[in-house]
Amino acid sequence: MYIAHTIADLRQHMAQFKHPAFVPTMGNLHAGHLALIKQAKPLGDVTVSSIFVNRLQFAPHEDFDSYPRTFNEDCEKLEAAGCNVLFAPTEKDLYPEPQTFKISPPAEVADILEGHFRPGFFVGVSTVVMKLFTCMFSEAEGKRTALFGKKDYQQLMVIQRMVQQFALPIDIVGGETQRADDGLALSSRNGYLSKEERAEAVQLSKALRELAQNYRADANNLAALETKAMQSLANRGWQPDYLTVRRRADLQPPHAGFSSGGQSSDPLVVLGAAKLGKTRLIDNLEF
């Protein structure tokens, strides 16, 4: 696996390939990341990943400094999964001067849910992804593909819309959420959990499944169902930010009354974010 630390080195190496398939990460890799690498293999003539902990998407009170950095182990995992090229810039490499030009996604998709509880998060995400795309694909002559996990559902939507609006010649592919045997969505932040918290963490996915089931049975009382779902987690010691049912197309509340039982005819997703101890977990389920 070739490792490039500078933009110039990356571009020089990538000039020999025409159809890169790219998986950006912040490192501390788990099976979900590696599943994206394997999904990328047949989609291009070279499989590329990046490791960069992006300061722009962390609020001052969040865990940028303590975010796990496991570079050597990550390299071994990527190579074993079939990654051909790794871009691993330092902050000075990627941001040689303050990044004052930034991508600002529209409020209707970026200031709800995660964006409401993490103001500026999607500005940071969009800006670094755009910059990584310009670094990664500048030498490509043919099909360009980038893969993102569906666990970060809203992030995937923001990136898809950014690529569409800027007419970037990049196919954005979503990878299914990878889960532990008990149903917990794999996440780099799961490593923060104590043994007891890890056993409790599966309750988030269970609460989302229950909310989806309750919506199917009683769609006309969605607000009450969401409140009940949040309270059920709060009663177990969680600090929930949101548990909600939304349309997959735009993450807005579902239309009611379009099908039997008052349920929306739109494809839906149930999303949740809640803090367990000091660790904030997110998850979602399409239904």
Q: Would you please indicate which residues are annotated as catalytic (active-site) residues?
A: 33
Supply the DSSP string of 119-155, one letter for each residue.
TTHHHHHHHHHHHHHHHHHTT--S--EEEEETTSHHH
- 34's enclosing H/E stretch is helix 31-40
Q: Cβ distance 132 to 159 under 8 Å?
A: no
Q: What angle do CA 127, 250, 283 make, to 5 degrees?
A: 75
Query: By the 8 A CB rule, do 56 and 118 touch?
Result: no
Alpha-carbon gap, residue 119 to 115, rounded angstroms: 5
Q: Sign of the CA dihedral 274, 280, 281, 284?
A: positive
